[in-house]
Amino acid sequence: MNVYLSSFFNYFLLYIFLFVGTFFIPVFAQDTDLGQDLFKANCASCHYLGPHEKKLIGPGLNEEIFEEYTGEWLYKWIRNSAELIESGDKQAVAVYEEYNKAVMTAFPYFTDADIDNILAYIKEGPSEVVEVASEASDVRNTESESDKFYYIIFFILLFNIVLLVYIKNTLKDASGIQRISFLQSSFSWLKLNPSFIIFASILLVFSGMKGCWNSLSTVGVAQNYQPEQPIAFSHKLHAGEQGIDCNYCHSSARESKHSGIPSANVCMNCHTYINEGRSEEGTKEINKIYAAIGFDPNSKTYIPGYEQKPIEWVRIHNLPDLAYFDHSQHVNVGGLECQTCHGPIEEMEEVYQYSKLTMGWCINCHRETEIDTDNPYYHDLHNKWLDKYHGEEVTVDMIGGRECAKCHY
């Protein structure tokens, strides 16, 4: 009998270990969200998160660096690369020579945990190709947590069945009763417990429905779409650090339905005189503009008879043909900032689609956005709306912002 109790106790400990591990193992994992914040604040200005060949000022960073360099070396390099180079370290000197003797910024204040989180983020990458935290990442995290909950419930139920069958057979052995096979015992138990079959069936059906719904809800949604562009134009540099107004390049956003793609002439307003970037790579990108329009940066003149080539920018935000959206109405009348729909564009090295741009997303915005009744554009109408709603807060959906024909006609 002691043998059976000992065996049962071992299974019980295994059950507790697996159950607790399912919930708490993620707690001890490295925090890639914190690593993402640290990377963007300290590393993104010089390094892309991507292939080694994808250079900004330094090389692109991904899991390949762990194949080339040891963890101990990476800690020393990140904290103080200049000190490592001066020590004569062969790898450090090789990197220093490869990148034109440009010394990486030292980060002596980084703790081991900070570096662990940054390296974990570099290794694992952003969730679902997210470069900047977005509403979609929260939705995906919620969905993944929900899916995990279903798996945990299924695991607990399955393990309980196995444990109950084992206990039953152990007690039979202790009493000298002939044991039946596990399969037969399981079928017998299920026959005696039809409520479990009903519950498991309902859980299975709803899990399948939820999985189908999650898949269907992503059809046609291009959130986080980030194509490679013919010129690596940095919005972070131009709109962020240099403070150039979005409407300077996308001037038609104030006047027409489309925000428009700026012509190379707009670029040349500045780059007639700014011929070099902050790095060799930046200068190469500027030269692509000159190659497209036939401009000689040395003489500051256009080449006569040069056959100009259009810069083939890849469109990122593309609503379906059945939807109508007018930039000028939202920018001029609504007074919206570009960031409302396009996200923190001034922080993006490479632009990607920040928002879902689904019908539900637009309608929620109309429900939450209050009308600026001081806007003289619709002065008379505003007075009528205020009278109609007795001076209450008037939102876009209250003045027809949810009518089908506003966006579909």
Q: Using one digit for the tens of pLDDT, what is the confidence trace for 208-244? A: 898 888 788 778 888 889 999 999 999 999 999 888 9
Query: Within 13 Å and on the Cβ side, how many CA atoms surround 382?
Result: 12
Average per-residue pLDDT for the chain = 78
pLDDT at 25: 45
How does 366-395 read in b/e, with b if 16+ C-beta sit within 10 Å?
A: beebebeeeeeeeeeebeebeeeeeeeebb
Identify the helix (H) or strand (E) that includes residue 16.
helix 2-24
Please list the rounded mean pLDDT of every run of 10 residues in the chain (409 residues).
50 53 46 73 75 71 80 86 87 82 78 85 62 41 56 71 70 68 70 82 88 82 90 92 90 90 92 88 93 92 92 91 91 88 92 92 89 67 69 78 86
d(CA 156, CA 145): 16
Report the 10 Å Cβ neighbour count for 365.
19
Report the largest interatomic distance among the alpha carbons of the chain, rounded to a whole angstrom: 103
Sequence length of the chain is 409
Question: Domain spans of the chain?
Answer: 32-129, 135-216
DSSP conformation class of 334: S
pLDDT for 348 equals: 92
* Whole-number pLDDT of residue 342: 94
Q: Is the pTM of this model over 0.95?
A: no
Rounded (10°) CA dihedral 353, 355, 358, 364: -160
Q: Are 37 and 78 in contact (CB under 8 A)?
A: no
Are 400 and 406 contacting, i.e. CB atoms less than 8 angstroms apart? yes
pLDDT in tens, 314-349: 999 988 889 999 999 898 888 889 999 999 999 999
Do residues 154 and 203 lie in contact, with contact meaning Cβ atoms separated by under 8 Å?
yes
345 near 339, Cβ under 8 Å? yes
Listed in sequence order, the residues at least 6 apart from 173 whose beta carbon sits closer than 8 Å to its beta carbon are 4, 179
Handedness of CA 131, 132, 136, 141 (dihedral sign): positive
Domain 32-129 superfamily per CATH: Cytochrome c-like domain (1.10.760.10)
Instruction: Confirm if 110 and 102 have CB atoms less than 8 A apart.
Output: no
Q: Any residues with CB less than 8 A from the CB of 31 and at least 6 apart, and which?
A: 117, 120
Burial level of 349, CB count in 10 A (0-12/13-18/19+)? Answer: buried
